[in-house]
Amino acid sequence: MNSAETTPTIPGPDPYPRKPAIVLPAGSTDCHAHIVGPQHRYPYDPKRRYTPPDALPPQYLQMLRTLGVERGVLVQPSVYMTDNRRLIDALRETDFPLRGIAVVDESVTDAQLDELHEAGVRGLRVNLRVENGASADAVPQLARRIARLGWHLQFRIDPKDFASAEAMISALPVETVVDHIGGVPVDEGLQGNGFQTLLRMLRSGRTSVKLSAPMRMSNQDYPYRDVVPFVHALADAAPDRLIWALDWPHTTLSKPMPNDGDLCDLLDTWLPDEPIRKKVLVDNPARLFDF
């Protein structure tokens, strides 16, 4: 290890993804993954909250092929803040169908946005939970600037802030995505303020929700049964506004590391209706990410 490198502080993903029991529809898309490393070539930001082990394109693509997933979306990880070089290179170094979600701040130029678009980026991520790129105050201006590119904004939001975020998001001139089933506390139930706000945003027709990372909101271990009612309620409300993701390589996870084949098999319970499953895995991401 180079003297400038730092030992990982979190575990990596299960290196042996199993083939799922279900067969995914052709064109299925994983809508949220992070590529990180190697650290000596793509150094991490000094303000990062953790240091990950390498999670490289060959590992990710082998996992997708094992699962039968045919397209992927790479999301800029927080360890790189607004340095999108690793993301751009990952999009350009393979012929596998990939799109990207970048992180920028207010200083980004139109030329830089155009370069990101050429590389395959189709949206920006805004983390309203931790410092990482643009602040909430900068969101309206960024939204106006990316509208010409046909991009969307992807949000990581603390559920207690949904009410204030809803007002801001509803006024934006672009589509939006809320990460990880909103991360709503399962203890609050389906009638909780956070989840009801999420449903309202979903029904607006301009916000999508990412069915991903159930382990981050569940009070249980796999198969995270306490999350199922929330997924079913979202699918009943607006199946045209849902997308699905594995959240590989599952950074900062405090629970047992899932096998990605097991996560695929959750779809048998989450989305038992095959036409809706195809809509969520294939049709909705094809539109949102311009595949």
CB 260 within 8 A of CB 28: no
Token representation of residue 10: 């979190």
By residue count, the chain amounts to 291
Closest C-alpha to 179, from 204, 162, 196, 193 = 162
Contacts of 3 (CB under 8 A, 6+ apart): none
Q: DSSP class of residue 189? A: -
Per the annotation, the verdict on 45 as an active-site residue is: no
3-state secondary structure of 223: coil
Token pair 């390498």 is found at: 54
Q: How far apart are CA 48 and CA 42, in angstroms?
A: 13
Q: DSSP class of residue 12? A: -
Q: How far apart are CA 56 and CA 63, in angstroms?
A: 11
Q: What values do phi and psi take at 155, rounded to 5? A: -120, 140
Token representation of residue 108: 């980004």
One-letter amino acid for residue 88 of the chain: I
Q: Which of 14, 179, 247, 265 is catalytic?
A: 247
Give catalytic residue positions: 247
